[in-house]
Amino acid sequence: MTKKFIPFSKPIDLTRSEMLRRSAEFYEFMKSRRTIREFSNEEVSQEVIDNCLKTAGTAPSGANQQPWYFVIIRDSSIKAQIREAAEEEERNFYAGRAGDSWLEALEPLGTNADKPFLETAPVLIAIFEQKYAIDEQGNKTKHYYAKESVGIATGVLITALHNVGLVTITHTPSPMNFLTKILKRPEGEKPFLLLVVGHPAEDVEVPDIDKKSLKDISSQF
Ligand code: IYR
């Protein structure tokens, strides 16, 4: 393929003080995001979800291969199937498959095998990683850095949803192969995570946990 370049113009141009103010404001806003495990049944418009998905689709990816696929689930019978399959895996996980140290790490979060949010939340977004593309002749094209790319797109999606006041939980029942079957996804795609989206239940509480300090997550030369 021949390369083609077009001019780029800076989307925003800020003074030093505007830059400082915006960076601090955005930090404050992002700090207010919390993972929520109890949802109300308040609806979320598809237009909003579509805009957030388009935002996720702007993420950078290896060789611009955009190796992500999002399945939106609103149908209650599909949600029920997903909940049943996820809870089966979770029961095994909490009954021992996780191992003692993993369960100990989860203790402060108060999680368990029951996942009612998979049915109460209005929207589930199953995110798939396309490990390779496959054309009509069955030829496979490997995707480079697929997992990293889907991870970045998922981060952008979570940020976009937070930006409109929606709450999420990144749910990762393990293994998640049941999503491929229930959602009839093709070969080459691997479930990456299940993002549960909606509004928080009334009076919901969150774990009293902190984020690491700047000093603990960074250093300078
Ligand atoms: N998938 C399980 C366990 C779990 C694992 C991690 I790592 C978490 O941060 C939270 C939960 C569950 O959803 O309960």
Q: Which atom of ligand 1 is nearest to the CA of 174?
A: 1
With pLDDT > 70 as the criterion, what percentage of the chain qualifies? 100
Q: Which atom of ligand 1 is nearest to the CA of 111?
A: 14
Residue 68 main-chain phi, psi, to 5 deg: -125, 155
The answer to whether the CB of 90 is under 6 A from ligand 1 is: yes
**2 band by pLDDT with thresholds 50, 70 and 90:** confident
The answer to whether the CB of 92 is under 6 A from ligand 1 is: no
Give the whole-angstrom CA distance, residue 104 versus residue 126: 28
Positive or negative, the Cα torsion across 78, 110, 104, 154? positive
The answer to whether the CB of 111 is under 6 A from ligand 1 is: yes
pLDDT of residue 3: 83
Q: Name the residue at shortest CA distance from atom 8 of ligand 1.
A: 106
Predicted confidence (pLDDT) at residue 1 exceeds the cutoff of 80: no
How many CB atoms within 10 Å of residue 89?
19
pLDDT of residue 158: 99
Give the whole-angstrom CA distance, residue 192 versus residue 190: 6
Asked whether 119 and 76 are in contact (CB, 8 A), the reply is: yes
Distance 171 CA to ligand 1 centre (A): 7
For 167-194, write each residue's pLDDT tens digit: 999 999 989 999 999 999 999 999 999 9
The answer to whether the CB of 173 is under 6 A from ligand 1 is: yes
For 67-119, write each residue's pLDDT tens digit: 999 999 999 999 999 999 999 999 999 999 999 999 999 999 989 999 999 99
Mutate to test the pocket of ligand 1, among 172, 179, 192, 209 (most ligand atoms within 8 A of CB): 172
For 39-56, write each residue's pLDDT tens digit: 999 999 999 999 999 999
Residue 128 main-chain phi, psi, to 5 deg: -115, 145
Q: Name the residue at shortest CA distance from atom 1 of ligand 1.
A: 173
Calculate the alpha carbon distances from 175 to 16, 114, 190, 192, 207 in Å: 48, 16, 11, 10, 26
Asked whether 66 and 149 are in contact (CB, 8 A), the reply is: yes
> For the domain 36-83+114-136+145-201, what is the CATH code?
3.40.109.10
**Whole-model pTM?**
0.96
Among 89, 92, 75, which residue's Cα sits nearest to residue 183? Answer: 75
Over the chain, what is the mean pLDDT? 97
